[in-house]
């Protein structure tokens, strides 16, 4: 009676460990690749490709009940090399996959109008910024 329960626990543990490692490169290679800007498959299971040198739109937006005039701007950024993404994985060649946080780092910051580099000057514009770097 203990043996079937023990086998079930071991099987569940092994399957949980397998799901922690994520899909293999072979499994990912069988997924459709969608270039940014193209429609994605309805099931949502695909590799997204960001090509180098192509405008990638980003909306910067300030809104909320504090403001009588919210605003937004569309920014267009370009990356230096193509990047494939699948869930939290990234690849630069579509074959070798790594955890995204191991390959790309970033930071975000905010400065209110009248502050510059942590000092109040009463005249500098506010800043919403993001920086992303290869590791």
**Do residues 58 and 48 touch, judged by C-beta distance below 8 A?**
no
Predicted local distance difference test score (pLDDT) of residue 22? 85
Predicted local distance difference test score (pLDDT) of residue 15? 47
Predicted local distance difference test score (pLDDT) of residue 32? 98
Cα(71)–Cα(95) distance, integer angstroms: 41
How would you write the pLDDT of the chain (135 residues) with one tens digit per residue? 455 555 555 555 554 444 567 899 999 999 999 999 999 999 999 999 999 999 999 999 999 999 999 999 999 999 999 999 999 999 999 999 999 999 999 999 999 999 998 899 999 999 999 999 999
Domain ranges of the chain: 22-103
Burial of 98 (0-12, 13-18, 19+ CB in 10 A): middle
Structure tokens at 30: 């069988």
pTM: 0.78
Q: What is the 3-state secondary structure (H, E, C) of 30-41?
A: CCCEEECCCCCC
């Amino acid at each position: 009676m203990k043996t079937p329960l023990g086998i079930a626990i071991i099987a569940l543990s092994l399957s949980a460990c397998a799901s922690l490692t994520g899909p293999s490169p072979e499994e990912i290679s069988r997924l459709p690749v969608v270039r940014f800007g193209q429609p994605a498959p309805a099931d949502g299971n695909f590799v997204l490709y960001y090509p180098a040198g192509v405008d990638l739109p980003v909306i910067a937006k300030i809104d909320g009940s504090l403001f009588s005039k919210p605003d937004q701007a569309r920014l267009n950024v370009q990356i230096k090399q193509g990047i494939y993404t699948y869930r939290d994985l990234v690849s630069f060649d579509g074959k070798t996959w790594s955890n995204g946080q191991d390959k790309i780092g970033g930071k975000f910051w905010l400065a209110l109008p009248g502050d510059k580099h942590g000092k109040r000057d009463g005249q500098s514009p506010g800043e919403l910024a993001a920086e992303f770097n290869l590791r």
